[in-house]
Chains A and B, each alone.
Chain A
Amino acid sequence: MEMNRRQMLALAVAAATLSACGDSRQQKQAAAPVKSGAQVIDPNRPSSDDWPFEEAEQLNNSLTWPKTNVPDPASKVTITLAFTTDAVTEVRNAQFDFFFKKRHPNIEIKRESAPFDQFLTKYMAQAAGGSLPDVLYNHYSWTQNLIANKVLQPLDDFIAKTPEFDMDDIPQRGLGYFKRDGALYGLPTDMAPKLLFYNKDLFDKAGLEYPDETWTWDKVFETARKMTSGSGVEKIYGISPMPKPSPDLSSVYLMPFGGRFLDAAESKVMIAEPAARDVMARWLDLLQKDKAVPSLAELQLLEKVDPFKSGHAALFVNGAWVMLELSKQKAFKWGSTQVPKGPEGRTTPAVGSALVMAASSKNKDAAWIYMHEYLSASGYKFRRIAAPARQSAWEDNAKALGVPAEEAELVKKIMADYASDDGVLRLPANKKVVDTAVPIWERAQLGKISVDDALKEMVDKVTPVLSENKIA
């Protein structure tokens, strides 16, 4: 029989449709490996070179997993989790899920992962469609917006039903991002302060004493000038990075001098007031006159990798979470100490991300059971994360990850003594505030406008944005 062109086309479409159906049948029959980044994780035995299954099994068996009065579901339920992790960590999470399911056979887990820079967009779109996962990762700067829009479930009742969930083990001064009207909506997955890091090799070469807890910001500025040398690829910066309008600008740089970017209620711009203005002016001098901090052009040269990490800066203000990265490199010796003091004392932010539960979750008990174990001391130890919010997990994790014990002790001391969420922007307009102020500060850095003009312009342009922080 001879077919005409139309029949041929119809046959081709039918064949394609049939073959598509055939594919889906085959996929269902095969084991369902989870693809994460470039790797495929075997759900029946998740393993990788970084996280061998045998080690995970041994560690899991050695840990005591906590109990909760929230009952396990009587029949099978599935909870959906949405995390942002890299491909390496995803294996560890798959291992956690594997052993969790053995302890809770009626709880099935469906895990989703999205890159950090796409995460909020993806799940805001899902929220608009009314289909959020049961448990979600949350950056500290996102949570208040979700709380204000009634997307999240308060966790206090679940915590009350779980005597073993030791809240005292989590720094209370770092929970402000996740609280509203006395209710707690998020529990931190990690939390750490900012520290002053230093390159021991550069200090030895300059014959200067290492920084310690007695240092003031004045001494840091003076040392940064002394340590600056060279040019081009030989350039050594005294300190890095250059402060800019950011959620924790007040906490790290301004509050030690009695200044603030915004007031505590995030309803007024205070950066042009004398205390804050003087600090910003000093940094601008350090950049423009002393060339002691990387400029915008130099940061481009460095492809946005901080020069401290490549041994090209003497001092570095950053979060304790970079200890892991610094511990792995062998190019230079480093140390860390508390952030410097100012005339008004010493302040550092306690910042971290959290897990939250969607108010729309149909399986809240099962979601809590998962959150409880994931965020227990055993959960933190199993995940081996570098900056655990549970202080009891610091020593074990630091030892396992090769972070020096004295550095872990330092962080625990800071978290216990003074690290706090005070001064860290968190209300809904925080991203818009930063995006409005940064271009103005960049123009000041480029010498296009004076520090006073820049700060005045920030006040003028940021003030209208703050109306979005009013939460009903």
Chain B
Amino acid sequence: MTAVSVRSTLARREARRFHLFVSPWLVGFVLFSAGPIVAAVVLSFMEWNLLQSPRWVGFANYVRMVNDPEFWESIENTVQFGVGAVALGVTFTFALALLLNQPLRFQGLFRTVMYLPSVVSGLATALLWLNILHPDYGLINKMLASVGIQGPGWLASQEWAIPGLVLMSVWGAGNTIVIYLAGLQGIPKTLYEAAEIDGAGWWRRFWSVTVPMMSPVIFFNVVTGFIAALQSYVLILVMTEGGPGNATMVLGLYIYRHAFVYFDMGYAATLSWAMFVLVIVVTAIQFSLARRWVHYEFK
């Protein structure tokens, strides 16, 4: 056997093994991701209640969606929640990561404590925050009352329900903190030393070194945070069911309701595509704005 044919046999064997090992993922992807995505496109042009055969209705679901005031209301609520959750989440977690990056005693313990909420189950989180946000006996309103401020009705108020949910969304931000910590530890110490030699104080070092060097990480967290916030609905379903008065009816919950409460699968698929478009538009805007503030060390 020549050296070439041995190599060719080895290459074929390697290729076979590659396909063997990659096939479970490929089958799963086709069955559970790509398949449903294609099905959702087709379904959005159909009327289907699960009990009868799907019926082709052309663009009727899209026309219905554009004329559905509750859909637009849900878009407004979703964007409000997304902007609030990302703005507060990114700022708060960045600040926490800066604190957790300080060389203090019990640093590991503090980091563990801050990460713990991320592993608490969603239902427990919902019940906890129902109590924290309680208008009369909740922790937040108690604290406000101690400084003479009468707290709002939070989840029982149309105006304050979304801000209440935004506060809750910061709770499970442990993963974001970990990403920030990794980014902070990757900033070369020489940059801080050079800045210090130039006479930069802590604020200048933070603003001119930490923030630019962390901007790709912040951008990553903003993009992924927005995508997650625009899709979130489970905790909202548990905590407010979209109320009061539809004030927390976000798009994810609206889709869930049409798909799994009314079994209006065609319309739910159409709404899902609207969510996809919303995510794409918001992400595209973020990328277009990124050129102005995200600093990449190597281009």
Contacts and interface: CB of A to CB of B under 8 A. Distances in A.
A440 B136 CA distance: 25
B50 A127 contact: yes
B51 A146 contact: yes
Contact of A149 (B51, B153, B156): B51
B19 interface: no
A300 interface: yes
Contacts of B242: 439
B261 A151 contact: no
Contacts of A10: 17
B32 interface: no
A10 B21 CA distance: 9
Given A435-B261, A443-B245, A301 B136 contact: yes
A204 interface: no
B158 to A, nearest CB: 6
A149 B51 CA distance: 6
A375 to B, nearest CB: 25
B261 A448 contact: no
Contacts of B246: 439
A442 interface: yes
B25 interface: no
B262 A301 contact: no
Contacts of B249: 439
Interface string A114-132: 0000000100110110000
A20 interface: no
Interface in B114-135: 130, 134-135
Nearest to A150: B51
A125 B263 CA distance: 9
B275 interface: no
A101 interface: no
Interface string A211-234: 000000000000000000000100
A297 B135 contact: yes
Interface string A144-155: 011001010000
A442 B244 CA distance: 6
B48 to A, nearest CB: 8
A128 B50 contact: yes
A125 B245 contact: no
Contacts of A149: 49, 51-52
Given A125-B50, A232-B136, A442 B130 contact: no
8 contacts: A145-B51, A151-B51, A432-B262, A439-B244, A440-B245, A446-B157, A446-B244, A448-B158
List of 4 A-B pairs having minimum Cβ-Cβ separation, nearest first: A297-B156, A149-B51, A443-B245, A128-B50
Given A297-B157, A443-B244, A446-B244, 13 more contacts: A6-B17, A121-B260, A149-B51, A151-B51, A232-B136, A296-B243, A297-B156, A300-B156, A439-B243, A439-B249, A442-B245, A445-B244, A448-B245
Interface of A: 6, 9-10, 121, 124-125, 127-128, 145-146, 149, 151, 232, 295-297, 300-301, 303, 431-432, 435, 438-440, 442-443, 445-446, 448
Interface of B: 17, 21, 49-52, 130, 134-137, 153, 155-158, 242-246, 249, 257, 260-263
